[in-house]
Structure formats: C-alpha cells, structure tokens
C-alpha cells in the first residue's frame, strides 16, 4: 500500500512537471478529438500518404471512445455528441466526464492532461505504427487453445 502511494505521488509530480513545461490540454481524449479537425482538409497527392492521414484521423478518436466504453457507455455516440456540443457552444474544451456522466468544459471540471504527455503518446503511437509497417515480421504471443472445462465434483453421496 505504501509503494502504491509513493508511485501515485511520483506520477503526480511527473505530470505536474510536464504540465509546467508545455502546458495543459483538456483531458478525457478531448484534445485528440480536436486534433482531427486540423487534418480534415488535408489532401495529399500520394494515395498511401492520404491513407495514413485517414488512419490517424480515425485513431485520434479512439482514446476518448475507449475511456467512455470502459465506463460502460457507447464511445462512438459520446464522440459525436462531444463534437456537436463543442460546435453549439463554440467551445473546444467540452468533453464527457465519465465520473459524473455529464458533458462540460473539461478544463473547468479539472479534467486535464499535460500537453507534453498527450503529444508524446501520439508521437510514440506513430513511431510504433511506422515500425510495424516497415518490419517484415511481427512477434506476438500465440494464443493457447482453451482447454476443456474441469469435470464437476462428485456430490459426496448427496442425491
């Protein structure tokens, strides 16, 4: 328990340092969903490059979807509702707070991420994707076949 608390304090200190270095962005995946907008009108001549842009646009919504789905809600519906509410209010900070199950300004609600962490996560994901695409082999675990269910225990004379 003490190690867990120490780890949480270290994480908080690291996040605070990162926030001081590069600032904050609305949390809960809002900043990444907003980044999709900057790619909306990007048209590239090379078909492969355009496919890559389309993949990134789709991938940018996945963190918010996953956060929402982990809270038991429909991620796709929430992402579209967030976009709608942002447009209606002309406020790019609007997101979905899974703890209260309410839409609102994530910065005002205190749901924030260090910009450095968000940027780093996106850069790392792009790096890994590029490595996978350029590697001719990929190492993965082979799933083990599910074994037969164990036999039911005997009733011990009970009928």
In a domain, 144, yes or no: no
In a domain, 76, yes or no: yes
In a domain, 88, yes or no: yes
Q: What is the reported pLDDT for 138?
A: 72
Tally of structural domains, the chain = 1
Q: What is the reported pLDDT for 52?
A: 86
CATH number at residue 105: 1.10.560.10
Whether the Cβ atoms of residue 81 and residue 14 lie closer than 8 Å to each other: no
Distance CA 20, CA 54 (A): 32
In a domain, 103, yes or no: yes
**How far is CA 145 from each of CA 79, 109, 148, rounded to the nearest angstrom?**
36, 46, 9
Q: How far is CA 101 from the centre of its chain?
A: 17
In a domain, 153, yes or no: no
Distance CA 9, CA 3 (A): 10
Mean per-residue pLDDT, 41-60: 88
Q: What are phi and psi of 94, to 5 degrees?
A: -70, 135
Which residue has better confidence, 89 or 9?
Answer: 89
Q: Is the pLDDT of residue 122 over 80?
A: yes
Mean per-residue pLDDT, 55-66: 94
pLDDT tens-digit map of 2-28? 888 888 888 888 878 877 888 889 999
pTM of the entire predicted model: 0.75
In a domain, 149, yes or no: no
Domain residue limits at 44: 26-134
Confidence of residue 149 (pLDDT cuts 50, 70, 90): low
In a domain, 107, yes or no: yes
Best-predicted range by mean pLDDT among 91-105, 107-121, 127-141? 91-105
In a domain, 83, yes or no: yes
Confidence of residue 157 (pLDDT cuts 50, 70, 90): low
- Among 109, 118, 21, 114, CA closest to 64: 118
Percent of the chain with pLDDT over 70: 92
Q: What is the reported pLDDT for 7?
A: 86
């Amino acid at each position: 328990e003490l190690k867990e608390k120490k780890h949480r304090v270290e994480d908080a200190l690291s996040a605070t340092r990162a926030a001081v270095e590069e600032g904050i962005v609305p949390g809960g995946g809002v900043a990444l969903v907003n980044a999709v907008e900057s790619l909306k009108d990007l048209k590239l001549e090379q078909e492969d490059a355009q496919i890559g842009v389309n993949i990134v646009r789709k991938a940018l919504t996945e963190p918010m979807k996953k956060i929402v789905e982990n809270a038991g809600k429909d991620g796709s519906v929430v992402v579209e509702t967030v976009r709608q509410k942002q447009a209606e209010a002309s406020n790019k900070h609007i997101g979905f707070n899974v703890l209260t199950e309410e839409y609102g300004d994530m910065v005002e609600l205190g749901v924030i991420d260090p910009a450095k962490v968000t940027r780093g996560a996106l850069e790392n994901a792009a790096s890994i994707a590029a490595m996978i695409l350029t590697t001719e082999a990929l190492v993965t675990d082979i799933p083990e076949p599910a074994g037969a269910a164990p036999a039911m225990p005997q009733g011990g004379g009970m009928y």
